[in-house]
């Protein structure tokens, strides 16, 4: 089988690997589509994503969907040929979460994630023509959701989790700062959750076009325009420290800011004074719990998030696909893995 493997910073290859066989409790997945995430780009460009350092070759990809190609022993309730996606998180160990975060499995102290170098040995991702997956990580695609859309369920789940962190959005005015793929999906998730209005901001017109396609009622190019005033809830999806000051200032006194974009792990300079003087609530949002199932339900109900896709590449053009995904203003880049 073919697999998209990063061997080191700047060293991406489409390798040929032996076909895997599912063990007890496992499913053999034949991925058809995969979405490229920022972490995939970081592993390719830097040999690291955050604090996770690449020590060995790693198969990339945690946004995948395909069809079941085989079943291991003791797997029930699933059939060969079924279209599915994957919850890419696997909890490691039996650590008990304290009551204050009960059920928030995304905050488990040790999690293996598809396409991650956080552990040694690393956890291979799903950018391959075959991949064994624990049966409990499989999510069946509902009728009307094909594998192309199904590969977008994971990033939509990230957006829906961020929206859930903000509380009830019905009838409320929302700002989404940073309109890349995740920000645009936050726009869609906020509208789906009943927000009265959503304003999206970015420095790239292509990203603002994507936000409008996802339902943004208004857009602001922060390269030449100021953010609106007194927004009840803001989602900061750019991850740029320089954006924090303007976003905090745009948020109404007593309002809420949800941090969706990953901030740097090193010291940075940022203007944070309004966090105190405007008595804001600043909330972090990390991955998701079970919102991937909510994402599939929303898709089956008619939520179309495919406008976030800007490029499609075959598996053999994986290097070109990663380069496209690294280009500012690019939407979601999809790999066809068949």
Asked if residue 247 lies in contact with residue 236, where contact means CB atoms within 8 angstroms, the answer is yes
Identify the pLDDT of residue 264: 85
Helical residues (DSSP H) of the chain, grouped into ranges: 38-46, 147-150, 153-165, 181-192, 205-213, 241-250, 273-277, 291-300, 318-325
Q: What is the pLDDT of residues 99-150, one digit of tens each?
A: 999 999 999 999 999 999 999 999 999 999 999 999 999 999 999 999 999 9
Give dist(CA 68, CA 85) in Å, integer. Answer: 10
Asked if residue 75 lies in contact with residue 25, where contact means CB atoms within 8 angstroms, the answer is yes
Query: Which of these, 9, 17, 71, 68, lies nearest to 43 by C-alpha position?
Result: 9
Give dist(CA 259, CA 281) in Å, integer. Answer: 11
Tokens of 338: 């068949």
Where is 77: in which H helix or E strand? none
| Residue 86 DSSP symbol | E
Chain center to CA of 6: 19
Identify the pLDDT of residue 50: 86
Identify the pLDDT of residue 120: 95
The whole-number mean pLDDT for each consecutive block of 10 residues of the chain, a chain of 338 residues, reads: 98 98 98 97 95 96 98 97 98 93 95 96 98 98 98 98 98 97 98 98 97 98 96 97 97 98 89 96 97 98 97 98 96 97
Identify the pLDDT of residue 159: 98
Domains and CATH numbers, the chain: 2-152+305-336 (3.90.180.10), 159-284 (3.40.50.720)
Identify the pLDDT of residue 115: 98
Report pTM: 0.97
Identify the pLDDT of residue 265: 82
Identify the pLDDT of residue 167: 97
């Amino acid at each position: 089988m073919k697999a998209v493997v990063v061997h080191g910073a700047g060293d991406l290859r489409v390798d040929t690997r032996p076909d895997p066989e599912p063990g007890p409790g496992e499913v053999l997945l034949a991925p058809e589509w995969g979405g490229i995430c920022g972490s995939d780009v970081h592993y390719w460009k830097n040999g690291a994503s955050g604090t996770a350092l690449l020590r060995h070759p790693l198969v990339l990809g945690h946004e995948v969907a395909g069809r079941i190609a085989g079943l291991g022993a003791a797997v029930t309730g699933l059939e060969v040929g079924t279209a599915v996606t994957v919850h890419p998180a696997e909890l490691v160990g039996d650590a008990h979460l304290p009551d204050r975060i009960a059920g928030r499995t995304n905050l488990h102290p040790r999690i293996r994630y598809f396409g991650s170098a956080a552990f040694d040995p690393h956890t291979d991702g799903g950018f391959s023509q075959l991949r064994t997956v624990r049966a409990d990580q499989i999510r069946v695609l509902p009728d009307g959701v094909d594998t192309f859309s199904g590969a977008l369920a994971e990033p939509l789940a990230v957006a829906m989790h961020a929206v859930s962190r903000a509380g009830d959005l019905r009838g409320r005015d929302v700002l989404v700062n940073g309109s890349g793929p995740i920000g645009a999906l936050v726009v869609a998730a906020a509208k789906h959750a009943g927000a009265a209005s959503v304003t999206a901001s970015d420095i790239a017109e292509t990203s603002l076009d994507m936000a409008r396609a996802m339902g943004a009622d208004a857009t602001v190019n922060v390269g030449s325009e100021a953010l609106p005033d007194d927004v009840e809830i803001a989602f900061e999806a750019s991850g740029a420290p320089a954006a924090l000051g303007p976003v905090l200032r745009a948020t109404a006194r007593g309002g809420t800011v949800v941090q969706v974009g990953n901030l740097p792990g090193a010291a940075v300079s940022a203007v944070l004074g309004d966090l105190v003087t405007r008595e804001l609530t600043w909330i972090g949002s990390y991955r998701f719990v079970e919102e991937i199932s909510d994402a599939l339900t929303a898709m089956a109900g008619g939520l179309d998030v495919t406008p976030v896709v800007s490029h499609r590449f075959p598996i053999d053009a994986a290097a070109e696909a990663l380069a496209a995904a690294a280009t500012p203003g690019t939407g979601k880049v999809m790999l066809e893995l068949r």
